[in-house]
């Protein structure tokens, strides 16, 4: 009789031997087994070993032997033995896979009354660990980089007659290179395998309804549901509601307790991606995409169905192929000589293959980093593209040709941009009880306000092109500049107050060092009048938009263009750069918000936000909120973090002209028609202070970086500095 150990799921001790393997540590454990890190003493390498140990039906004795639990109705022994045989079948089946996105099983062995599966060990982390350390969700590019390959691997599993049946963030593993793979087939079963009613282990929230006994037959659509649930977790930051709970709730009140992904008005995901997630999470299996490939097509923007394809079976054991070919070798026959074009194509193809092989050798030997290779490719693509764009713009300008309203699609980004983290500083709390400290006269309507030079200077841009620099403490006029009248008073000042970006002629931006009040650079590249500008929080990048919807990202360190972003879909009225410098938001005349990925130069999404033009847009400094305002009392806070609810704010002005958060992110300042300056407490969503001083309302405003001063202007021709 074996003595039961108190800890029912205790692992093998470190140093235990399993054949040629020595246990080093525990990598993880679940309801059906424990995974160890072990050393292969023969090959002097590390491996991962999974032990079949269903804790619900078995226990370990002091001699490390696992045996079915004693007592009960005796079914534990039967279930344990059946599960052991299934575990061995799965090990045999998975050992035949040589696929980039499926865990590689090396061998299996039987010992200690159970079985063990030996797998390749690669350094990395689970998807669940990754999203925990990255704000609780994946960006759209990361989402596709993970799930498109995973669905390729899952399709191979299904075509081999197997199912996974336990796909969840814990069972998607990200190698150190970022390449994903499916792991832990411990709950996988042969498609027509025996399933003991009521004794199937499930992961609540990620299991399809038909995985519960009596609710249907399992199949590829069952794994599709689990992928959909994992996608839901990654884009909403919420755990999906269990399918059986959804089914029962729908039966009672006809309301699904799980909000659909399409209801999350997040800027990071295209509409077709969120629609695919909801489709994969349909409770009836027949309403979901029928296969992993069908869901993959949907995520890529195609119809979510499986396209006709020919399954190729290739001899050998190359990565990504399954099975051995039964092809018959045919006798060779005479072929005509290849023509010039065919020979040239084959030569170029061979040259490219040799270049790729050389690059791989350099990477494998450590002489070339992957990022360096990508940067070289990016730069090689950038040169002809930028040259072509500049030549076309020059010719069009000389001939007086107006660019078409719909621009050609922008090629893939050429360069990866990373913003420097803004230096940490103490942020004093904003005091909303302010009074007018200075009143200045505006000779024409004011278009922009900004504090500069350590908050000691107020920059005022007028619609007629005049730019006045005022001493913010005394109201003394320091100097005057001239900007392009075609730019309608657009300007931008970096968050530290050092740099002023000013369109000095319609198509060029002058960069001024405000500490010395001298120009240091002139940025040229637009073919139309520049109308909007915005700095990143660290001041390292500048974004400019022109009248023809061209968008350019500039490097402020070198004062040169990084690349052209995809053009705006409609005329942009307001710009805002996220505090981390990775996302650009633009509010347009059609009431939509367009989002760009500044790190990669791609468009992220376009969200129809409100039925009227968006003329005011601002991110909170802590990155939690994006405020958008417009006409017809439209004012909304968009939760930039996925654990927050987006909400429209009540009693907004008839026209919201300006919005800006305070440096501590606690307050939102509102400038509106026929309203005083209003200060809204963000968490409560209510206006708590109203500062009267303008007749006819507030049209523009600015807050100093320390929160000590606020500047406003309105239709009454006054410029007020509040303190």
- Which residues carry a binding-site annotation for ATP? 50
With CA atoms as reference, report the closest residue to 511 among 551, 541, 548: 541
3-state secondary structure of 140: helix
Cα 456 from Cα 477, distance rounded (Å) = 12
CA atoms within 13 A on the CB side of 127: 27
Dihedral angle sign, alpha carbons of residues 137, 143, 145, 151: positive
171 close to 183: Cβ distance less than 8 angstroms: yes
Dihedral angle sign, alpha carbons of residues 606, 610, 614, 616: negative
Q: In whole angstroms, what separates CA 513 from the centre of its chain?
A: 35
Dihedral angle sign, alpha carbons of residues 238, 243, 245, 251: positive
Known binding-site residue numbers: 50
| H-helix or E-strand spanning residue 298 | helix 292-299
Cα 565 from Cα 407, distance rounded (Å) = 12
With CA atoms as reference, report the closest residue to 235 among 641, 648, 628, 595: 641
Per-residue tokens: 47: 């491996």
Q: How many residues does the chain have?
A: 723
With CA atoms as reference, report the closest residue to 654 among 671, 667, 677, 668: 671
Per-residue tokens: 633: 């009392």
Cα 229 from Cα 239, distance rounded (Å) = 8
12 close to 23: Cβ distance less than 8 angstroms: yes
Cα 472 from Cα 449, distance rounded (Å) = 12
Name residues whose C-beta falls within 8 Å of residue 149's C-beta, 6 or more positions apart in sequence. 100, 101, 179, 180
Specify whether the backbone of 608 is left (phi greater than 0), alpha (psi in -120 to 50) or beta. Answer: beta
Cα 372 from Cα 247, distance rounded (Å) = 51
Cα 458 from Cα 207, distance rounded (Å) = 59
3-state secondary structure of 114: strand
Question: In angstroms, what CA-CA distances link 493 with 513, 704, 706?
Answer: 10, 11, 15
With CA atoms as reference, report the closest residue to 105 among 169, 181, 19, 22: 181
Cα 645 from Cα 615, distance rounded (Å) = 23
Q: Which residues pair with 638 in a beta bridge?
A: 626
């Amino acid at each position: 009789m074996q003595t039961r150990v108190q800890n029912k799921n205790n692992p093998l001790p470190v140093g235990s031997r399993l054949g040629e393997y020595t246990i080093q540590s525990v990598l993880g454990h679940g309801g059906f087994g424990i995974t160890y890190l072990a050393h292969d003493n023969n090959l002097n390498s590390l491996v991962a070993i999974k032990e079949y140990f269903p804790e619900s039906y078995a226990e370990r004795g002091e001699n490390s032997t696992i045996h079915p639990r004693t007592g009960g109705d005796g079914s534990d022994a039967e279930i344990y033995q059946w599960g052991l045989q299934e575990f061995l079948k799965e090990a045999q089946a998975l050992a035949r896979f040589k696929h980039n996105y499926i865990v590689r099983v090396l061998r299996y062995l039987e010992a200690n009354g159970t079985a063990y599966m030996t797998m390749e060990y690669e350094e990395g982390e689970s998807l669940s660990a990754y999203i925990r350390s990255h704000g609780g969700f994946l960006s759209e590019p990361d989402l596709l980089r993970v799930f498109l390959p995973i669905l390729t691997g899952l399709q191979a599993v299904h075509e081999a007659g197997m199912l996974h049946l336990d796909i969840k963030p814990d069972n998607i593993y990200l190698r150190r290179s970022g390449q994903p793979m499916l792991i832990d087939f411990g709950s996988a079963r042969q498609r027509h395998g025996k399933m003991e009613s009521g004794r199937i282990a499930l992961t609540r929230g990620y299991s399809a309804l038909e995985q519960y006994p009596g609710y249907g037959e399992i199949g590829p659509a069952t794994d599709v549901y689990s992928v959909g649930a994992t996608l839901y977790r990654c884009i909403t930051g919420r755990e999906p509601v269990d399918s059986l709970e959804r089914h029962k709730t729908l039966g009672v009140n006809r309301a699904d307790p799980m909000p659909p992904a399409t209801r999350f008005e997040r800027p990071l995901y295209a509409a077709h991606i969120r629609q695919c997630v909801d489709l994969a999470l349909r409770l009836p299996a027949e309403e979901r995409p029928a296969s992993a490939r069908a869901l993959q097509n949907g995520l890529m923007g195609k119809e979510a169905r499986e396209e006709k394809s020919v399954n190729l079976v290739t001899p050998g054991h190359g990565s990504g192929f399954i099975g051995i070919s039964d092809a018959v070798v045919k006798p060779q026959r005479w072929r005509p000589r290849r023509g010039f074009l065919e020979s040239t194509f084959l030569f170029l193809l061979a040259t490219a293959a040799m270049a790729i092989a050389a690059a791989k050798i350099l990477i494998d030997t450590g002489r070339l980093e992957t990022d360096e290779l990508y940067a070289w490719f990016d730069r090689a693509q950038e040169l002809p593209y930028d040259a072509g764009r500049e030549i076309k713009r020059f010719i069009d300008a000389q001939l007086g040709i107006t660019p078409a309203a719909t621009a050609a699609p922008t090629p893939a980004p050429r360069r990866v941009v990373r913003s420097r983290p803004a230096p940490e500083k103490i942020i004093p709390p904003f005091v909303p009880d302010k009074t007018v400290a200075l009143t200045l006269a505006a000779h024409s309507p004011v278009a922009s306000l900004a504090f500069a030079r350590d908050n000691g200077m107020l920059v005022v841009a007028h619609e007629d092109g005049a730019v006045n620099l005022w001493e913010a403490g005394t109201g003394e006029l320091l100097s005057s500049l001239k900007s392009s009248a075609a730019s309608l008073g657009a300007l931008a000042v970096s968050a530290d107050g050092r740099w002023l970006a000013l369109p000095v002629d319609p198509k060029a931006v002058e960069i001024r060092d405000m500490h010395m009040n001298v120009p240091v650079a002139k940025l040229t590249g637009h073919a139309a009048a520049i109308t909007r500008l915005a700095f990143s929080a660290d001041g390292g990048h500048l974004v400019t938009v022109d009248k023809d919807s061209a968008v350019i990202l500039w490097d402020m360190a070198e004062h040169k263009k990084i690349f052209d972003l995809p053009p705006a879909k409609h005329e942009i009225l307001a710009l805002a750069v996220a505090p981390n410098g990775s996302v650009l938001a633009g509010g347009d005349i059609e009431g939509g918000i367009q989002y760009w990925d500044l790190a990669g130069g791609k468009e992220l999404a376009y969200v129809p936000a409100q039925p009227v033009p968006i003329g005011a847009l601002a991110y909170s400094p802590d990155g939690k909120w994006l405020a958008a305002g417009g006409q017809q009392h439209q004012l909304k806070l968009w939760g930039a973090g996925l654990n927050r609810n987006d909400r429209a704010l009540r009693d907004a002005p008839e026209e919201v002209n300006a919005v800006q958060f305070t440096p501590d992110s606690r307050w939102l300042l509102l400038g509106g028609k026929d309203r005083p300056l209003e200060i809204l407490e963000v968490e409560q969503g209510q206006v708590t202070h109203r500062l009267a001083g303008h007749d006819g309302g507030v049209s523009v405003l600015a807050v100093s970086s320390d929160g000590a001063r606020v500047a406003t202007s309105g239709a009454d021709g006054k410029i007020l500095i509040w303190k």
